Amino acid sequence: MLKTTIIGASGYTGAELALMVTKHPELTLSGLYVSANSVDAGKPISQLHGKLAGLVEMPVQPLVDVQKAASECDIVFLATAHEVSHDLAPVFLAQGCQVFDLSGAYRVKADDFYTTFYGFEHQHENWLDKAVYGLAEWNAKEIESAQLVAVPGCYPTASQLAIKPLLEAGLVDSTMWPVINATSGVSGAGRKASMTNSFCESVFSHMAFLITGTSQRLRRIWVVM
């Protein structure tokens, strides 16, 4: 059984991962962590996500000692912000862990991407070069042997799965931009309460998202393809 840890376990993605790991025949859930100052630290994950009651009762712990957490697992999922994953991944990788990063910190190998879209300069280009883009339908072999898997986001995954086979079959003119009509639910914005994501504001509603053309999602889609 491979000991599996989830960092950023209090969010929707963390909860889904905890359930998947618990049900997986070859994995055992070894740790659930949140940031050291999180108000959720110490609470059972089932208290944060009621659907896990009776299934996953492990408490989420504050991530105080990263080295210790890394020494206690074989696999780690980083369900954290881009800049947090950027700093955490090398620590776990140095301990020999296999890292699945759900942020955008290691997805794109382009010089200006991180300063332009994420507001920080990438400090771990050696790991960025080794990271494998985790779109399993296209990178299955590479993923099998990768130590660092950069899991793609929702819009790039949906877009690439639809467009890439058309491009490879010569059915799309690569000099023209295809139209991608993608719609996401508000859960994609996370659990933090906001007026925009409240039920009364969002029910039966459709809101344009980053229509200025500056979205890093567009860049991630085309760089990979």
The one catalytic residue among 73, 97, 154, 200? 154
Residue 33 pairs in a beta bridge with 7, 61
Residues 6+ away with beta carbon under 8 Å from 169: none
Q: Is 175 helix (H, G, I), strand (E, B) or coil?
A: coil
**Identity (one letter) of the amino acid at 129?**
D
Name the phi and psi angles at 116, rounded to 5.
-75, -45
Residue 118 pairs in a beta bridge with none
Gap between the Cα atoms of 209 and 187, Å rounded = 14
**Structure token digits, residue 192:** 């933090």
With CA atoms as reference, report the closest residue to 153 among 111, 119, 117.
117
200 part of the active site = no
Give buried/exposed letters for 125-142 (b at 16+ CB in 10 A, else e).
Answer: eebbeebbbbbeebbeee
Q: What is the largest CA-CA distance in the chain?
A: 54
Helix (H), strand (E) at residue 34: strand 27-34
Catalytic residue IDs: 154
